């Protein structure tokens, strides 16, 4: 059985060293003793599974349980997964496992609780939503997980102070001159941080996709 792995960040120096090889993360997962590969899988895809689950009226604690359940299923089935990008990405296979796990969870919850007829019908409707809508939901959560993972890695790489300046300037939309007044940095240095961190984020996104 796969032990529970907290969603913590991987050390950036170790991550960069791993990126020197182009071997797919998914191929490394087939070596079940590769703990680093499984932690990397959890850090990236755990976010995707978690976010997807929340859209079906599932609470945070229950969504974490679904993440662990899906990880266990992947651990058990990964040797049977035939990795061939031209026949479909790993994410499609993972989505099938995740969706089935979510549907099974909703059915179990319904069977052990005296929920109202309206709530049962709503849960069933959500679980049986159109394939197109469900696929769009999965893509949206994948994009979110991808960039969140990339930003977490960059935060570890550049340090808290540098990333805080980037976060406030770019994501918080604080003017550079205003930030300069609150820090020891000048406006030019703040712009330099912005461009450097954005460059690193793009690199991390590329690395994740290339290792998929």
* Residue 104 domain flag: yes
Phi, then psi, of 23 in degrees rounded to 5: -60, 135
Q: Taking the CB of residue 177, how many other CB atoms lie within 10 A of it?
A: 10
The domain tally of the chain equals 1
Per-residue pLDDT tens digits for 35-54: 888 999 999 999 999 999 99
Question: Would residue 190 count as lying in a domain?
Answer: yes
Asked if residue 137 is part of any domain, the answer here is yes
Which range of residues forms the domain containing residue 102?
12-210
Q: How far apart are the first and last CA of the chain?
A: 24
Per-residue tokens: 77: 């089935």
**Of residues 8 and 164, which shows the higher confidence score?**
164
pTM of the model: 0.74
Give residue-wise pLDDT tens across range 155-184.
999 999 999 999 999 999 999 999 999 888
DSSP for 96-164, written as a single string: HHHHHHHHHHHHHHHHHS---HHHHHHHHHHHT--HHHHHHHHHHHHHHHHHHHHHHHHHHHH-HHHHH
Q: What is the DSSP letter of 169?
A: I
- Is 3 a domain residue? no
Looking at residue 28, its pLDDT comes to: 83
pLDDT digits (tens, 9 = 90+) for 13-32: 444 444 333 357 777 888 88
Domain membership flag for residue 119: yes
Within-domain flag for 94: yes
CB 154 within 8 A of CB 165: no
Residue 84: what pLDDT? Answer: 60
Question: What pLDDT sits at residue 88?
Answer: 54
**Inside any domain, residue 109:** yes
Q: pLDDT, tens digit, for every residue of 64-73?
A: 999 999 999 9
- Radius of gyration for the chain, computed over Cα atoms and rounded to the nearest angstrom: 20
pLDDT at 210: 82
Residue 12 has pLDDT above 60, yes or no: no
pLDDT tens per residue, range 84-141: 655 557 888 899 999 999 989 988 887 766 555 545 555 555 555 677 888 999 999 9
- The answer to whether position 134 is within a domain reads yes
> Does residue 6 carry a pLDDT above 50?
no
């Amino acid at each position: 059985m796969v032990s529970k792995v907290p969603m913590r960040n991987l050390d950036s120096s170790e991550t960069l060293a791993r990126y020197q090889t182009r071997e797919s993360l998914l191929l490394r997962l087939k070596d079940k003793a590769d703990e680093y590969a499984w932690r990397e899988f959890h850090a990236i895809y755990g976010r995707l599974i978690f976010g997807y689950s929340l859209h079906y009226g599932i609470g945070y604690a229950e969504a974490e349980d679904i993440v662990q359940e899906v990880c266990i299923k992947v651990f058990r089935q990964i040797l049977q997964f035939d990795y061939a990008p031209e026949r479909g990405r790993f994410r499609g296979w993972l989505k099938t496992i995740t969706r089935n796990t979510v549907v099974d969870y909703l059915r179990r919850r319904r069977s052990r609780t005296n929920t109202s007829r309206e709530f049962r019908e709503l849960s069933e409707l959500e679980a049986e939503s159109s394939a197109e809508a469900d696929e769009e939901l999965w893509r949206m959560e994948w994009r979110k997980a991808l960039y969140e993972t990339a930003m977490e890695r960059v935060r570890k790489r550049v340090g808290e102070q540098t990333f805080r300046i980037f976060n406030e300037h770019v994501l918080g939309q604080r003017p550079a001159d205003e930030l300069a007044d609150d820090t020891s940095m000048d406006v030019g240095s703040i712009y330099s941080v912005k461009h450097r961190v954005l460059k690193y984020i793009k690199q991390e996104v590329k690395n994740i996709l290339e290792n998929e």
